[in-house]
A and B are shown apart, each in its own frame.
Chain A
Amino acid sequence: MRMRGILAFALLLAGCPSAARAGSPANRSRSAAPASRPAGEVQRAEDHVVTLKVAYQDFDERTPWARRPPSMRTGTATVVEGRFLLTSFYIVKDATLIRVHKRGLPQSAVARVRHWDPFMNLALLEVTEAGFTDDLVPVPISDANPRNGELKTARWKDRQLEIADLRVQKADVQLARSGGQEHVFLVGTTDLAEGGWAEPVFRGRELAGMTTSQDGRTAYVVPAGILAAYLAQARTPATYTGFAGWEARYQVNDDPALAAWLGQEGSPRGIVLRKVPWGATGRGVLQPRDILLSLDGHEIDSSGFYEHPRFGLLDLDQIVIDGHRPGDVVPARILRQGRVMDVQVPLRRYVDSDRLVPRFRVAGAPPYVIAGGLVFRELSMPYLETWGDKWHKKAPVPLVVRLDESAEDQQPGHRRIVFLQGVIPIPYNVGYQELRDLEVREVNGRTVDSLPALDEALRHPVDGFHRVRFAPNGSVAEIVLDADGMEAATRFVLANYRIPRAVVLPQDAPGDLGPACGGGLAP
């Protein structure tokens, strides 16, 4: 897993573009007067590109019942077939109002999200005001190799259309923003300052890609093939199946001693699987210490690369993205205990909510349960990020290691990490008010692996007490509270601290993956 993409995104988040920023457009064209274009006239970029002004208000992950002050972000969207607007998920995340401006004009219309895929960082919007998009022209999606030819990127700024060159240096498989799904990006140098906010990338008059982040002058572009695959499904959200993901963990097979120990003769080829997480593609078929030699007909080298017909050498993660959907079955060739075997691998979608520690909070308030002043949460990366830029170093070690292992540890009965975030002081919880960030294992004798499970367990006190047991490495093993007083204490906390609700359960509870995801093969 490479983290470069995350870094780039983090940098951009700190530098959200504003109307006052200075930029030096490489090329400018006057904003045209809005007028219906006669049929057959050649379209220009201004016909395809609109500006999004998004009012948003996200939640305070430290104080999950509170919202942060409203704020504003500006991005770009591209008009695509059906006069939908294609943009990135992060531009419209936590939106309270999305306004669309065309041709750099101050007048705007309201848009709403028709569909989003947070893990691919893509979103499709539709304008609710009739006729607003009539003079805009959907851009065709390019089918050419986007690494070749002259590429331009465009956005509206200061009522003018900025058009800048973009020169692709390489294609690279990276994590989508904030660590969603891995897929190929075009990485190139752009002349556009402070871009990366969903600017379209044109090849001639076709859409060759869309930026989703920018680090200095290095832009990361989702290529047209992925955009086309997304649009093909996103126009009908009810049947959206998303993209297949590759989450099996592996180590490179460069070492001849390792390869020989695993029974491979000759030069090392393929990669050595370390773990196939619960619910992931390959679970139940592939096993730790298999050498994966080929997938979907692509030979895999000892570093995990394959020859992509368009982009050259790419990480094998891209294989399950290209031309496939979850549910497809692809052939794989493996070496297991010295024997070459051909197996069929069903592809599954990357589902962040199935992780032990989710990396996203897609929408809505952070879930929590307040019981007698004790604040319980489910561990997530957004919570850890409240420790700031160096959260990986600053956040409590027992919680951080859970994130590091989250993709590998998820399994039935161990679906989320529930922890006591802290204690809101009232007389009822005296003696426990210093406790914080402790992993909860059991409540009233019941295993707790989600907030709903905790909420349920709190309905079943034992002999008049609520007993909360923590992970054994914490500062305390167990605490006890009077069952009789808890309800009144919770009401008192809500009233005294003006907290609107005691319980907000997760909207993205882990799915029931069923026995097929286990396949009977213990990791």
Chain B
Amino acid sequence: MARAGRWTLPILVGIALAGMPAVPVGAAPSSAQKAIVRLVNTSQHPDWYSPWQSPAPFSVSGSGFVIAEGRILTNAHVVSDSRDLVLYLDGDSTPYPARIVAIGHECDLALVEPVDPGLLRKVKPLELGDLPVVGDSLETLGYPVGGERISMTRGVVSRIEVQEYMHTALFRHLVIQTDSAINPGNSGGPVLRDGKVVGVAFQVAGALQGVGYVIPNPVVRHFLEDLEDGRYDGFASMGIRLVSMQNPATGRFLRVPANLQGAWIDKVNPGSSADGLLRPGDVLLHVGDAAIDRAGKAVVRGETHDLFRVLDGYQVGRGLPVRVFRDGGVREIEIPLKADPEMVRFTHQWDRMPSYYVVGGLVFVELDVEMLKTFGSDWFENADRALLWTALYEPFSDPALYRRHRVILLRRLDHPVNVRMAWYRNVVVDRVNGREVREIRDVVEAFESNRDRFHVLEYLHQGRLGVLDREAADRANAEILERYGIPEDRRL
């Protein structure tokens, strides 16, 4: 479930640029340095408030490094919403066109390649190493702010655990925390131990000094292995919620033998990997090779981790062996893993154009985090409470609502046909012309199939109503689109 703090803590370390400074040729780079490139992405993030608009592009600079087959690994947030992408080799001020091979927003990783397939032929790829341990020395390389040449900083591994990845502000994977200086522009650059890559620099803690985060190789390998079949499937979720069994009463209540320990499954999301296989009331004992402790943590290599640590070892489509205690006995169950596409609407979104529909000057959009962000940087505080509830809490209150994409009347483009409507901004539309709205296509079909004298909007909260004269709205449609410069009345 979404929380306020979730959206604010870490800061991504890609950097927006006003221009593109040239990189001068310097001293002969080391082998590792030659594999590290600077990426400049001209990005264009859609405007969810005026979804038909083409907002001003802006440049983002980050780092990347060559891995096998002449391809470059970087962060997803460096190359998101890309309209133009170039790379700079170390010591070479020539901008080389590049393109995105694959992008994984859940893990904030992307694979890019130069348009010229021979460009990296002479560059020796960096090699992926093992997961370091706390206290290991690390070197962070990349092109952070404060200069134009490649930069290297040193530090140690200060912590390894599952944390939230800020790029989506929802997905959680393993991270390496380090005191090695990571600054804007370092994003996508390699972090090395003994000359081998242990991860990809990607974010820092906003409120803490000297705390940087690195995407470790288990996550990197998951991303790369996922792409081996030429398709990116993403990360699987089990779709369950675990409740602590640290209170001894729960074990007795669920009649779990004293020699077993695990955590109580109290919810299974409809349509998720576990739906139909696990059920509320099961006690999860083992997932993969990891035992589950009474706090619901997975025990990996003798250390407790969030369950995502185990899931990151499995690809979508694979079977995840789990062991549960149910009805007085232990059962072994294999769960075919799948990704949950519904989770996208609870995250920051990239490389996606917002859907919308304009009719009679009324602008309808689907309610998701990007829409909420139209309330500004403090959107969690500033957004209408009813909208916030409907977007982030209501889907978890009833299984039937989890897959319902709420649609809101975002705003009104003033015209005589609509200007006297009482409610016309940020209201959740429950029904249109008697038709239940489950996604934006329902709104379109309800308007287009209506032959009555009026279009009737029933809003979700407080019994509010909106009515449009159908014929007048139909007549005004083209004029409104023209007057407000809207090229298309819909994007679905």
| Chain A residues close to B by CB (< 8 Å) | 249, 251-252, 254-258, 260-261, 272, 274-275, 288-289, 390, 392-394, 397-398, 400-401, 404-405, 408, 429-432, 464-465, 467, 471-482, 523
B244 within 8 A of A: yes
B280 within 8 A of A: yes
User: Within the complex, which residue of A257, A272, A408, A523 is in contact with B454, where a contact is CB–CB below 8 Å?
Assistant: A257
Chain B residues contacting A480 (CB-CB under 8 Å) are 247, 249-250, 253
Contact between A255 and B247 (Cβ–Cβ < 8 Å)? no
Contact between A523 and B385 (Cβ–Cβ < 8 Å)? no
User: Within the complex, which residue of A251, A261, A481 is in contact with B249, where a contact is CB–CB below 8 Å?
Assistant: A481
Chain A residues contacting B280 (CB-CB under 8 Å) are 477
Minimum CB–CB distance from B455 to chain A (whole Å) comes to 9
Can you list, as one digit per residue, whether each of B391-424 has a CB less than 8 Å from chain A (1) or not (0)?
Answer: 0111011100000000000000000000011110
B377 within 8 A of A: no
Chain B residues contacting A432 (CB-CB under 8 Å) are 244, 247
B318 within 8 A of A: no
Least CB separation from B360: chain A residue:
A257
User: Within the complex, which residue of B241, B243, B245, B454 is in contact with A260, where a contact is CB–CB below 8 Å?
Assistant: B454
| Chain B residues close to A by CB (< 8 Å) | 1, 241, 243-250, 252-253, 266-267, 280, 294-295, 381-382, 385-386, 388-389, 392-394, 396-398, 420-423, 453-454, 456, 461-469, 472
Contact between B247 and A393 (Cβ–Cβ < 8 Å)? no
Contact between A251 and B465 (Cβ–Cβ < 8 Å)? yes
Contact between A251 and B394 (Cβ–Cβ < 8 Å)? no
Contact between A258 and B385 (Cβ–Cβ < 8 Å)? no
Contact between B385 and A408 (Cβ–Cβ < 8 Å)? no
Contact between B393 and A255 (Cβ–Cβ < 8 Å)? no
Besides A251-B423, A257-B454, A474-B1, 15 more A-B contacts (Cβ < 8 Å) are A255-B420, A256-B420, A258-B421, A261-B454, A274-B465, A288-B463, A394-B381, A398-B389, A430-B247, A431-B244, A465-B252, A465-B253, A473-B396, A481-B247, A482-B248
Chain B residues contacting A274 (CB-CB under 8 Å) are 462-465
Main secondary structure, interface of A, reads mixed
Contact between B422 and A249 (Cβ–Cβ < 8 Å)? no
User: Within the complex, which residue of A256, A404, A475, A523 is in contact with B386, where a contact is CB–CB below 8 Å?
Assistant: A404
**Which 9 pairs across A and B sit closest by C-beta, in order of nearness?**
A431-B246, A431-B247, A274-B463, A473-B397, A393-B381, A255-B420, A258-B467, A477-B266, A480-B253
Minimum CB–CB distance from B282 to chain A (whole Å) comes to 13
Minimum CB–CB distance from A483 to chain B (whole Å) comes to 9
Contact between A400 and B385 (Cβ–Cβ < 8 Å)? yes
Q: Give Cα A142–Cα B453 distance, bound, in whole angstroms.
A: 55
- Choose among A257, A401, A471, A475 the residue with the greatest number of B CB atoms under 10 Å from its CB: A257
Contact between A476 and B462 (Cβ–Cβ < 8 Å)? no
Q: Give Cα A275–Cα B461 distance, bound, in whole angstroms.
A: 11
Contact between B462 and A405 (Cβ–Cβ < 8 Å)? yes
Q: Give Cα A404–Cα B422 distance, bound, in whole angstroms.
A: 19
Q: Give Cα A289–Cα B462 distance, bound, in whole angstroms.
A: 12
Least CB separation from A254: chain B residue:
B420
Chain B residues contacting A257 (CB-CB under 8 Å) are 420-421, 454, 467-469, 472
Minimum CB–CB distance from B423 to chain A (whole Å) comes to 7
Chain B residues contacting A429 (CB-CB under 8 Å) are 247
Given contacts A430-B247, A431-B245, A477-B280, contact A472 B396 (CB under 8 A): yes
Q: Give Cα A417–Cα B243 distance, bound, in whole angstroms.
A: 23
Chain B residues contacting A471 (CB-CB under 8 Å) are 397
Contact between A478 and B266 (Cβ–Cβ < 8 Å)? yes
User: Within the complex, which residue of B243, B249, B382, B386 is in contact with A393, where a contact is CB–CB below 8 Å?
Assistant: B382
